[in-house]
Amino acid sequence: MKKVLFVVDTLEVGGSEKSMLEMLPYFQDIKISVCYLYPGGHLRSKYEAAQVNVYALELPGKYSFLRGFKTLSKIIDEVRPDIVHSALLRSSLLVRLVCLKRKFVHVSSLVADSYNPVRISQMAPAIRFKFRFFYLLDRLTARWIDYYVANSHAIKNDSLRYLGIEPERIEVIYRGRDVSKFHSRDRSHINHDPFVCITVGRLILSKGHQILIDAFCDPQLKTEAIELWIVGDGPERPRLERAIELQGLGGKVKLLGRRDDVSSLLKTADLFLFPSLYEGLGGAIIEAMLAGIPTVCSNLPVFHELIQTDITGRFAANNPKVWAMEIKYMYTHSRERLAMGLTARNTAIDRFDIKKIAAAYENFYRRAE
């Protein structure tokens, strides 16, 4: 049985942490231990309930690498893992340092479009300077990592370009979902008001929520019984609240905040919208597919790995008028919309079932030497 130490920044509700937690029951010959670097252990009790040993470094600052090096080295000496799998950049940099003195296979996840030019353009000058420093550090030490796991082909291609990683060192394994948590209702005989569009994601600038609010200023969307539910919270909420009020959309666009019943909300909705400006994969789209609803999303390369035009959804350019047009198309073409939703669910079950994703990870861990 191979022993894997999974190293992450925190055990909050992030994609990497949730994905590993959901895969745990399906591993056959892999023993997982978890170490997190900084305060934030929301998921710790759930990992421990799954009989996983959890180690908390509780580092006092974001860049306490010397203290982290000493503590993580002791944990690795205790666990004696065959593989150390780091999830995010700070975790990965720390593990890279430790692996210079200790023998283990280092695997690192590639999950975010970190070096996307749009992301960089949104940074303040001081943040951009620090970002470039860590980019150079990442690129210079990327060769110290034995293998990478990318959660999409788009992220793999970006990593080849920005980090200079050899393609044979990157394995693409998509993120999965527990299919049993998502259910689709029979929408074929339902004639109801309102027609619900839903989007799920943190309220940050890169998620593109403003473009949806602007799209709902379209006269037809205003007069028809169509609503937009925005699920999530974050620093952009006050600005979005003002925009909704100023444009008179209080009864049309609803900020639902952070919710624990996303699967139920998706089951209620008719159409999923995802106007993100950049993304690592788009797990929210996978959840919408499992709920049996089609997606209209921004025209990013990574989303073409999930959505097929007029088969499981459609794409929209970064323009409110185009988004309004696509929403109106889905609203008025119910037969096509229902067919897309059904195909989306079947596609997601076939490609993103967490059991299949866990099996792919286990096979990868077995081969990593």
Q: What is the pLDDT of residues 2-32, one digit of tens each?
A: 999 999 999 987 788 989 999 999 999 999 9
Distance (Å, whole) CA 20 – CA 18 = 6
Task: Look up residue 61 and give its amino acid.
Answer: G
What is residue 199's predicted lDDT score, i.e. its pLDDT?
A: 98
- Residue 309 has what DSSP assignment? B
DSSP H or E segment with residue 5: strand 2-8
pLDDT at 298 > cutoff 80: yes
Percent of the chain with pLDDT over 90: 81
Among 184-188, 271-275, 289-293, 300-304, which is the least confidently predicted range? 184-188
Give residue 128's pLDDT band: very low, low, confident or very high (50, 70, 90): confident
Domain chopping of the chain, boundaries: 2-176+353-367, 179-352
Q: What is the mean pLDDT of residues 82-109?
A: 93
CA 169 from centroid of its chain's CA atoms: 22
pLDDT at 41 > cutoff 60: yes
Distance (Å, whole) CA 189 – CA 187 = 6
Q: What is the mean pLDDT of residues 303-324?
A: 97
Of 175, 137, 131, 172, nearest to 155 (Cα)? Answer: 172
pLDDT at 182 > cutoff 90: yes
Give residue 185's pLDDT band: very low, low, confident or very high (50, 70, 90): confident
Give residue 316's pLDDT band: very low, low, confident or very high (50, 70, 90): very high
Give residue 192's pLDDT band: very low, low, confident or very high (50, 70, 90): low
Q: What is the token pair recorded at 145?
A: 């990592």
CA angle 60, 34, 361 (to 5 degrees): 135
Q: What string of DSSP letters covers 318-350?
A: S-HHHHHHHHHHHHH-HHHHHHHHHHHHHHHHH
Q: What string of DSSP letters covers 162-219?
A: HH---GGGEEE----B-GGG------TT---SSEEEEEES-SSGGG-HHHHHHHTTSH
Q: What is the mean pLDDT of the chain?
A: 93
What is residue 7's predicted lDDT score, i.e. its pLDDT?
A: 97
CA angle 118, 119, 124 (to 5 degrees): 110
Per-residue pLDDT reduced to its tens digit, 60-89: 887 788 898 999 999 999 999 999 999 989
Fold of 179-352: Rossmann fold (3.40.50)
Please indicate whether the domains covering 2-176+353-367 and 179-352 agree at the CATH topology level: yes
Q: What is the token pair recorded at 202?
A: 């943190």
Q: What is the Cβ-side half-sphere exposure of residue 272, based on CA atoms within 13 angstroms?
A: 32
Q: What is the mean pLDDT of residues 326-333?
A: 96
Residue with tokens 């394995």: 171
pLDDT at 189 > cutoff 70: no
Q: Beta-carbon neighbour count of residue 62 at 10 Å?
A: 10
Per-residue pLDDT reduced to its tens digit, 43-55: 999 999 999 999 9
Q: What is the mean pLDDT of residues 184-198?
A: 77
Residues in the chain: 369
- The pTM score is 0.91
Instruction: Give the β-pairing of 83-86 and 295-298.
Output: unpaired
pLDDT at 190 > cutoff 70: no
Q: Taking the domain 2-176+353-367, which CATH number applies? A: 3.40.50.2000
Q: What is the mean pLDDT of residues 101-112?
A: 92
What is residue 303's predicted lDDT score, i.e. its pLDDT?
A: 97
pLDDT at 195 > cutoff 90: yes
- Residue 225 has what DSSP assignment? S
Of 95, 90, 66, nearest to 4 (Cα)? Answer: 95
What is residue 122's predicted lDDT score, i.e. its pLDDT?
A: 83
Task: Look up residue 327 and give its amino acid.
Answer: I
